[in-house]
Amino acid sequence: MLRPRIVWLLLLVACWCSACASAQKTVSDGASAPATSGSSETSEKSDAPTAFPPPPTVTPTGEKCSELVLETRASRTEILRGVQPTVSMAEAIAVFAGVGIFASLIAYGFHMVRKHIYNDADNLDTTFDAGGKVSIGLTATTIVSQWTWSATLLQSSTVSSLYGISGPYWYAGGATIQIILFAVLSIQLKTRAPGAKTFLQVIHARFGPRTHQVYCVFAFLTNLVVMMSLTIAGTAVLNSLVADLSPEMAAMMLAIVIGGYTLIGGLGATFYVSYFNTALIFIMILMLVVEVYYNPADNPNNPFGSSERIFDFVECWKAPPGNKDGSYLTFLSQGGFIFGIVNIVGNFGTVFCDQAYWQSSVAAKPLQGVWGFILGGLTWFAIPFCLATTLGLSYLAMSSAQGVAMLSDKDVAKGLVAPMVAQTLLGRTGEYAMLFLILMAVMSTGSAEIIAVASIVIYDVYQIYLKPFRAELAPGECILCGHRVRPTNEDPKRCMCPSMQRCEPCRQDDAARAAVDSLVKPHYTCSVHGQFREYQERLLYYKNWSIVWTTFFSIPLCIFCWAVDLDLAWTYYFTGILISSAVVPIALSILWVRVSSRGMIGGAVGGCVCGITSWLVYASTYPGGLANFVVNTGHQTPMLIGNIVSVTVGGLVCIAVSLADNWRMTPEQMEHEWEKTRDIDNPLTPWVHVYRDCLDISEARNVSYHERPPIDGIVRRFRLAKRTAYGAGVCLTLLFVVIWTSSMIAAHPLDSAGFLAWTTLSRGWGFVAATFIIVVPLLQELYAIGHKWRKQQLVRSSPSDCLSLQSQCTSPTHSRADSAEVLAAENGAAPTENGTRKLPAE
Ligand SMILES: [Zn+2]
Ligand SMILES: [Zn+2]
């Protein structure tokens, strides 16, 4: 537990020293410094406007441009091209250190709250799922901050500058529906595999090791691609804004900030840090929105200040072919539409195959998870929609104002539209806002990814393949004693292991260990649970190491991306081709009883191979073929074809093969299939205990940890949550993909009033979402802590109560379950949470 932290500290100091040294070196080298900044080649201030084609003087509809536009263009004094790296290295390091220290303090505060208020045990599951009791507000916050990649901030503004108003919409809508639909998977996971910590455990339980290995590869690939996209975007922005910063340095600094606080707090801390991240992201976005649309300080560099002025400038700027009538103010954009499709497909991959989202689902209570995902999705929608509508259109308007595009095509592809606008309109403040935004995004997504990788390594690689606790454990056998949980005729010996919560030797162990202050604790002596508890402790130790290694792995990864010159857009499009073939099979593994092992493998591998083949074949038809790899494979059409082939072949093969394998299934077989996933459990903190109050199980019933309510009862209990998830998923998907887009197509092209309505909607959504995400989680958490604290005071003031509450005073699991009661009480409005309905008897 301690050693990785010390090593971490040493490495941090070493990196810091090398950072300062290299910064000094590049500064002293002066002119001989290598061209470290990606934007340096285009960072020029030209005094010769004649070098660029003259700007149009009429709008697409043939009207003359407004006077304001023509005047502004005539009176320009200089032409801006490229982002200027003006933040000094020392300032950047100060910002990094400030954010790092702030995050660490919050992580530490969270640790203290859990330890002293909730009496959490420092065990393996707590570090991964924060006790499995996270409230709606915090679940929503975590999802928003995890789903806010650095790419979200950059790529959304990029597509806005390329395709006009449809870009931000496609980005936002095309990535919100997956989050909302994930609510369905979340509730099904809680119904059918409540003890699972990773989605891969479900696949292992149902389909065995071969299928499991294939999907482990897909899961790791997803984490890899997300990390790549994250660091590419992060370093691109850091490099464009910070002078004399090499990409290697940028990657290292990002890795230090992410890893440092992930290690301190586990997933739990990320819940609190996510809150501050999300709040800050929204505040920065609203700051940019206010500057662009209201110009409150009468900034002379800001030619806008109202929606009408932006409209005038954008209207008089010609869009590339593909947009109808060359207008940016239309939904009839071919590029925007293709981007929309690719975005939808690719994001299904990055949500469904990414353990990070399953982790959020595991960490939340069943109902809370469903609402957390729905509200998280709707809140997240505001970030790209509001930010990119503001920044992307400002970029177009500013380019129109000077008559020349502000960035080269290469810089646009890198995602520099947003920093360009922030720097031009807000100067220093804008640069810092951009640095903070990127840092926040990289930190929260990065740590979520690292924890996802660490949990796959621990739960799915180490525990299953490297060093399982019990090597030859057949399905349905108790991991503690090796006997069958449900005795059969061949093996009548039945597991009689008691629950740890009622085990006297374990209680003595806990007391003995609590009495020792040193870091070396006495061994566990309980004959039933002792060895397994030691094993779990070792896992916790390995978890810390795998976090350290995963973080450091991201440094060479980022340098590799830089070296082969991958850009953000390419990576973004390619993601779907690589992983989306696994989307339908993964969803079906928890939704559909007939899926077979062959269907799972065939779908994922077949879809991926077909997707990559079709993508490469189409790309090779461009001039230069595959020799000109990054350019030709990066075209929109091959990417579109690859994405669609991958997801559809993956789904169809999986369904067809599964139907062929499992056409006939008896009700007993079906029930047996879900019993396999319900067997996934940790005997020390069985799910029956964790969700005791949600399931309304009386204490006396579960003497052995294997005793659990029948699945029909749980299905009935979660019926409302399931209907909510399906209803919201279907309705909102229809709204975002069909209804909204078709009504916008009808409004082609937007006039000034339509444009005002459109930007007002984006601003309004931003303000409402910001209010929700800043106020609700804070209130919920404060209420929960206050409630818990009052309860503690009550117990302390009258010790006799403690006898009756003895289990709660001694057992960490019970106090965790107790905190659930607090949360349940505050969400008492939900009918399934009010504790009055009983499950039907077994
Ligand atoms: Zn047993
Ligand atoms: Zn015991």
pLDDT at 842 over 50: no
Q: Is residue 544 very low, low, confident or very high in pLDDT (cuts 50, 70, 90)?
A: confident
pLDDT band at 120 (very low <50, low <70, confident <90, very high): low
**3 state SS of 472:** coil
Q: Mean of the per-residue pLDDT values for the chain? A: 81
How far away, in angstroms, is 530 Cα from ligand 2 center?
A: 6
Of the given ranges (376-380, 476-480, 584-588, 717-721), which has the lowest mean pLDDT? 476-480
Looking at the CA of 508, name the nearest ligand: 2
The ligand with the least distance to the CA atom of 482 is: 1
Query: Please, which residues have CB less than 5 A from ligand 2, an ion?
Result: 503, 505-506, 526, 528-529
Q: How far is the CA of 483 from the centre of ligand 1 (A)?
A: 6
Asked if 81 and 39 count as a contact pair (C-beta separation under 8 A), the reply is no
Structure confidence at residue 246 (pLDDT) = 84
Q: Is residue 44 part of a domain?
A: no
Report helix angle 307-315 to 752-797, nearest 10: 130
| pLDDT surpasses 80 at 797 | no
Q: Give the per-residue pLDDT at 44.
A: 42
If we measure between CA atoms, which residue out of 503, 836, 519 comes closest to residue 685?
A: 503
State the SS3 of 165-180. CHHHHHHHHHHHHHHH
The more confident residue out of 567 and 98 is 98
Predicted pLDDT of residue 36 = 34
Q: What φ, ψ does residue 233 adopt, rounded to 5°? A: -65, -45
Q: How many Å lie between the centroid of ligand 1 and the Cα of residue 592?
A: 30
The Cα–Cα gap between 479 and 462 comes to 15
Which CA distances in Å does 507 have to 349, 503, 526, 533?
Answer: 45, 6, 9, 13
Q: Which residues of 738-750 are buried (b: 16+ CB within 10 A; e: fewer)?
A: eeebeebeeeebb
- Asked, for residue 98, whether it belongs to a domain, the answer is yes
Assess if residue 441 is contained within a domain.
yes
Q: Using the predicted structure, report yes or no on whether residue 762 has a pLDDT greater than 90.
A: yes
Ligand 1 center–CA 476 separation, angstroms: 11
**Distance from residue 533's CA to the centre of ligand 1 (Å):** 14
**Dihedral class, residue 62 (left if φ above 0, else alpha if ψ from -120 to 50, else beta):** left
Domain range for residue 353? 3-25+56-466+534-789
Number of structural domains the chain divides into: 1
Would you say 412 and 335 are in contact if contact means Cβ atoms under 8 Å apart?
no
Give me the pLDDT at residue 757, please.
93
**Ligand 1 centre distance from Cα of residue 509 (Å):** 19
Cα of 748 vs centre of ligand 1, distance in Å, is: 67
In this structure, which ligand is nearest to the CA of 503? 2
| Cα 487 to averaged position of ligand 1 atoms, centre (Å) | 12
**Closest ligand, as measured to the CA of 476:** 1
Predicted confidence band at 840 (pLDDT cuts at 50, 70, 90)?
Answer: very low
pLDDT bracket for residue 825 (50, 70, 90): very low
Q: Return the ligand number nearest the Cα of 470.
A: 1
Which of the ligands is closest to the CA of residue 532? 2
Residue 66 has pLDDT above 50, yes or no: yes
Q: Can you tell me the mean pLDDT for 145-167? A: 89
* Structure confidence at residue 3 as a pLDDT band (50, 70, 90): low
Distance 526 CA to ligand 2 centre (A): 5
Backbone angles phi, psi at 786, to 5 degrees: -60, -45
Residue 486: closest CA among 180, 285, 706? 706
Q: Has residue 499 been placed in a domain? A: no
How far is ligand 1, taken at its centre, from the CA of residue 192, in Å? 22
Chain-centroid distance of CA 591 in Å reads 22
Inform me whether the pLDDT recorded for 127 exceeds 60.
Answer: no
C-alpha 638 – ligand 2 centre gap (Å): 59
DSSP single-letter state for residue 211: H
User: 812 CA distance to ligand 1 centroid (A)?
Assistant: 22
Dihedrals phi, psi of 837, to nearest 5 degrees: -80, 145
The answer to whether position 721 is within a domain reads yes
For the ranges 146-160, 464-478, 560-574, 650-664, the one whose mean pLDDT is highest: 650-664
pLDDT number for residue 585: 96
pLDDT at 18: 47
Segment 237-257 shows an average pLDDT of 82
Q: What percent of the chain has a predicted confidence (pLDDT) above 90? A: 33
The DSSP code sequence of 664-694 is ---HHHHHHHHHHHHT---TTS-HHHHTHHH
Contacts of 281 (CB under 8 A, 6+ apart): 145, 148, 383, 437, 440, 441
Give pLDDT, residue 32.
33
pLDDT at 220 over 90: yes
Cα–Cα dist 759/281, whole Å: 19
Distances (CA, A) of 637 to 334, 347, 621, 808, 842: 11, 18, 11, 61, 57
Residue indicated by tokens 């239309």: 330
Does residue 835 sit within a domain?
no
- pLDDT digits over 564-620, tens only? 777 777 888 888 899 999 999 999 999 999 999 999 999 999 999 999 999 999 999
- Residue 810 or 649, more confident: 649
Model pLDDT, residue 641: 94
Amino acid at 106: I
Which ligand ends up closest to the CA of 705? 1
Kindly state the average pLDDT of the residues 529-553.
86
Distance 499 CA to ligand 2 centre (A): 8
Residue 473: predicted pLDDT: 80
Please, which residues have CB within 8 angstroms of residue 563's CB and are 6 or more apart in sequence?
Answer: none
Q: What are phi and psi of 79, to 5 degrees?
A: -110, 125
Distance from residue 289's CA to the centre of ligand 2 (Å): 58
Q: What is the CATH number of the domain that holds 239?
A: 1.20.1730.10
Name the closest ligand to CA 484.
1
The answer to whether 416 and 256 have CB atoms below 8 angstroms apart is no
Report if residue 771 sits inside a domain.
Answer: yes
Q: What is the pLDDT of residue 701?
A: 53
Q: CB under 8 Å to 322, separation ≥6 — which residues? A: 163, 333, 334, 335
If phi > 0 it is left, if psi is from -120 to 50 it is alpha, else beta; for residue 466 that is alpha
Length of the chain in terms of residues written: 842
- CA 502 to ligand 2 center in whole angstroms: 8
Whether the pLDDT of residue 725 is over 90: the answer is yes
Ligand nearest to the backbone CA of 483 = 1
| Structure token pair of residue 407 | 């960035």
**Residue corresponding to tokens 């939808």:** 344
pLDDT more than 70, % of the chain = 83
pLDDT tens for residues 325-339? 888 988 899 999 999
Nearest to 285 by CA among 770, 827, 731: 770
The larger pLDDT score, comparing residue 810 to residue 218, is at 218
Which residues are bridge partners to 494 per DSSP?
A: 484
Separation of 486 CA from ligand 2 center, angstroms?
A: 21
Q: How remote is the CA of residue 678 from the centroid of ligand 1, in Å?
A: 16
Statement: residue 229 has pLDDT above 70: yes
Helices (H), 456-567: 504-515, 530-563
* Residue 651, token pair as written in the block: 């789904």
Residue 482 covered by a domain: no
* The two structure tokens encoding residue 793: 């005071």
701 alpha carbon – ligand 1 mean position (Å) = 17
CA of 550 to the centre of ligand 2 (A): 34
Segment 625-635 shows an average pLDDT of 87
Of 32-41, 267-276, 558-567, 625-634, minimum mean pLDDT range: 32-41
| Ligand approaching nearest to the C-alpha of 473 | 1
pLDDT for position 105: 83
Residue 537: pLDDT above 90?
no
Q: 3-class DSSP state for residue 2?
A: coil
- Check if the beta carbon of residue 822 is closer than 8 Å to that of residue 808: no
pLDDT above 90 (res 699): no
- Say how far apart CA 758 and CA 292 lie, in whole Å: 15
E-strand stretches of 408-567:
none
User: Is the model more confident about 829 or about 79?
Assistant: 79
| Predicted local confidence at residue 607, as pLDDT | 96
Query: Model confidence at 724, in pLDDT bands (50, 70, 90)?
Result: very high
Phi, psi at 35, each rounded to 5°: -70, 85
- Whole-number Å distance, alpha carbon 496 to ligand 2 midpoint, is 12
pLDDT at 833 over 50: no
Return d(Cα 165, Cα 159) in angstroms, integer.
Answer: 9
pLDDT at 438 over 80: yes
